[in-house]
Structure 1
Amino acid sequence: MSKNQLAEVVDGRRLRSERSRLAIVEAALALQEEGVLVPTAQQISDRAGVGIRSFFRHFEDMESLFEVADNHIRDSYEAHFLGGDRSGTLAQRVDRAVERYADGYEGVSNIMLGTQAQLWRYEVLRKNYARNQRGLRKDLNDRLPELKSLPRETREAIDAIASFEMWHRLRRHQKLSKKSSSNVVKSLLKNLIEGTDADS
């Protein structure tokens, strides 16, 4: 076998390995998005069309898979929340922020729930979840710079109201529509911010 032929074989194996690795990552994410919040290695392997031994050749454990999966979707995850028009009155900016977050939470709901279900188990998920929370909080402060002058207790309340946990409660536990949930969050935020301004 010539050097060129050998190189082609090696490149072919590398490409197949990369395709298998990507298929595993995408299978894990697809299962979560479909509602299998904590998929097993076997479920992921079956979905990806690879053997369980192949799974563990690429990922030594589930935590290493989650780390790669997070890197794989980070840009698309952040795109759900960041950007958009940030001009206008306080009320207009609150409305736009809530609508943007509502769309984002709807889009990544099962991924978030799957992550929350396993925070106790994996350090990488705790780290990534904390990073995402810090990012959302910074984004809200950028959209609503008025928050910086409010008391700490008020800012903490606002952070809680704008959170995924609040959104999930309204949508799943209180069974409100997306529109009604958005209106609840908008009303709470405006009342809290404007009420605090009036008291100061």
Structure 2
Amino acid sequence: MTTGVRKSSAPKAEPKRVDGRRERGRSSHKRIVEAMMELIVGGDLSPSAARVAEEAGIGLRTVFRHFDDMDSLYAEITGTITERVMPVVMAPYPDQPWRANVRDLVRRRVRVFETTLPFRLAANIKRYQSPFLMGQYSRVVMLERELILRLLPGPVLTDRIAVEALCAALSFHTWRTLRHDQSLSAEDAAAVMGQMVEAQLATIVEDA
């Protein structure tokens, strides 16, 4: 009789092989998106595919292998920016009077609008030629409006003019005008937006 431990005949697991081409593809994809975003932040609001390729340090054909057109690249950027700002946008509000929540919304809008400003400026240039960007624009505007309406009590919601004034004061259009058209600093633009909202809150008699 043989004694001792019987060795397992099961084959050893081989180390996982890395697909070099796939890894290079992922790297190129990421570099393209990052290059596009860097160009936009740097002030080139309508970079060409050739400019993106140059910034990413890759060939133009590689850009179009990863993205069929510039719309698909904008879609990728939209997803990246959305992931960045949605925790701020959708964070729950504390249990406090509605006016305090509106003031909290002002602070949130300043953060989100300033983060997204260059990308929304870039998208605005292209949206009239892009069904994707036009659709995205409409969805964001509706969401921003809905987030304001959720904070307002019933009696205030019946005051259409007051509601529309608040929506206008808290809109990205207002932020763009202050920052881009009037060339205010982010701090000054935030102060102006806050003052506009305070002026409107002061006209609302109902304090629910």
2:140 paired with 1:132: yes
Q: Deviations over 1:94-118 (max 9, x none)?
A: 2221111112111221111111111
CA 1:73–1:180 in 2, change beyond 3 Å: closer, same or farther? closer
After TM superposition, the structure 1 = structure 2 runs for residues 47-86 of structure 1, keeping only pairs within 5 Å, are 47-83=55-91, 85-86=93-94
The residue number in structure 2 matching 1:3 is none
- Aligned partners of 1:147, 1:108: CA distance in 2, in Å? 33
Shift of 1:8: 4.6
Asked if structure 2 preserves the Cα contact closer than 8 Å seen for 1:94 and 1:190, the reply is no
CA 1:145–1:126 in 2, change beyond 3 Å: closer, same or farther? farther
- Aligned partners of 2:185, 2:85: CA distance in 1, in Å? 23
- Aligned partners of 1:55, 1:29: CA distance in 2, in Å? 14
After TM superposition, the structure 1 = structure 2 runs for residues 23-172 of structure 1, keeping only pairs within 5 Å, are 23-83=31-91, 85-145=93-153, 149-172=157-180
CA 1:137–1:75 in 2, change beyond 3 Å: closer, same or farther? same
- Aligned partners of 2:92, 2:185: CA distance in 1, in Å? 23
Q: CA RMSD in A?
A: 2.6
Percent pairwise identity: 28
Asked if structure 2 preserves the Cα contact closer than 8 Å seen for 1:38 and 1:114, the reply is yes
Which is higher, the Rg of structure 1 or of structure 2?
A: 2
Q: Deviations over 1:133-169 (max 9, x none)?
A: 2222222233444686233343222212101110121
Q: What letter corresponds to residue 157 of structure 1 in structure 2?
A: A
CA 1:139–1:86 in 2, change beyond 3 Å: closer, same or farther? farther
| Other structure's SS at 1:197 match | coil
Q: With the length of structure 2 as denominator, give the TM-score of the two structures.
A: 0.79
Aligned residue-pair number: 192
- Listed as ranges, the gaps of 5+ residues in structure 2 are 1-15
Shift of 1:43: 1.0
Q: What letter corresponds to residue 55 of structure 1 in structure 2?
A: V
- Aligned partners of 1:175, 1:139: CA distance in 2, in Å? 27
Q: With the length of structure 1 as denominator, give the TM-score of the two structures.
A: 0.82
- Listed as ranges, the gaps of 5+ residues in structure 1 are 1-6
Asked if structure 1 preserves the Cα contact closer than 8 Å seen for 2:149 and 2:157, the reply is no
Which structure: greater helix fraction? 1
- Aligned partners of 1:41, 1:133: CA distance in 2, in Å? 28
CA 1:196–1:92 in 2, change beyond 3 Å: closer, same or farther? closer
